[in-house]
C-alpha cells in the first residue's frame, strides 16, 4: 500500500488488536451506530476508524507537510447499571468501557507505526455520544499525527528559474 491513510489504517488495526484484547471488531467508520433496523456485522466492543480532516502546508516546490486527525469511535453494547445502590460488582461491570478506553489510549498515545512514516499519535479529545436511538455506549477519541508528502517533480519544476532585474 502506498497511501498514507491505507498504511496507517492497517497499522492501527494491528496495534489495537495486539494491545487491547477486549476489542472484538475494528473497522472503518461508516456510521455503523446509526442503523436502527439493519445493523452491519459489528461485534462489541468495537473500534471504528476514520480520518476526518487533514491540513496541508507547503514545504518547498510541490512537497507538503500534513497534520491528520485520527478519529476512533468506541462502540459498547449497554452494560449493567451504575447507580449508587447497585452492588459494587455490577457498578464495576457498568464502567468497563472506561477501562477499555484507557487501555486503548495507553496503546496509542505516543505510538508511532513501524517505519516511522508519521509522528507519534497524540490524543486531542475524548467525548461521549451516548444519546442515540440504538442504546449503545459511544466514546469518541481524536488523535493527531503529522507526516510529509514528497512528490515526484516533473522535469519542468526541477529547473532553476533566474530572474534578471533591469
Topology of domain 4-158, per CATH? STM4215-like (3.30.2000)
Confidence of residue 32 (pLDDT cuts 50, 70, 90): confident
> Domains of the chain: which residue ranges?
4-158
Which pTM value belongs to this model? 0.84
pLDDT digits (tens, 9 = 90+) for 51-107: 999 999 999 778 999 999 999 999 988 766 777 887 778 777 778 889 999 999 999
Ramachandran quadrant class, 61 (left: phi over 0; alpha: psi -120 to 50; beta: rest):
left
Q: What is the pLDDT of residue 111?
A: 98
Sign of the CA dihedral running 26, 32, 37, 38:
negative
Amino acid at each position: 500500500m502506498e497511501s498514507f491513510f491505507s498504511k496507517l489504517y492497517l497499522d492501527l488495526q494491528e496495534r489495537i488488536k495486539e494491545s487491547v484484547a477486549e476489542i472484538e471488531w475494528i473497522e472503518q467508520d461508516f456510521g455503523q451506530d446509526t442503523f436502527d433496523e439493519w445493523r452491519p456485522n459489528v461485534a462489541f466492543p468495537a473500534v471504528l476508524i476514520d480520518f476526518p480532516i487533514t491540513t496541508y502546508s507547503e514545504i518547498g516546490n510541490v512537497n507538503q507537510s500534513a497534520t491528520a486527525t485520527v478519529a476512533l469511535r468506541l462502540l459498547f453494547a449497554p452494560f449493567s447499571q451504575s447507580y449508587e445502590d447497585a452492588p459494587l460488582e455490577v457498578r464495576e461491570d457498568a464502567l468497563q468501557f472506561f477501562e477499555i478506553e484507557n487501555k486503548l489510549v495507553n496503546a496509542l498515545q505516543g505510538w508511532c507505526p513501524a517505519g516511522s512514516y508519521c509522528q507519534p499519535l497524540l490524543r486531542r479529545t475524548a467525548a461521549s455520544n451516548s444519546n442515540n436511538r440504538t442504546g449503545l455506549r459511544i466514546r469518541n477519541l481524536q488523535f493527531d499525527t503529522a507526516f510529509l508528502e514528497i512528490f515526484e517533480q516533473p522535469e519542468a519544476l526541477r529547473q532553476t528559474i533566474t530572474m534578471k532585474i533591469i
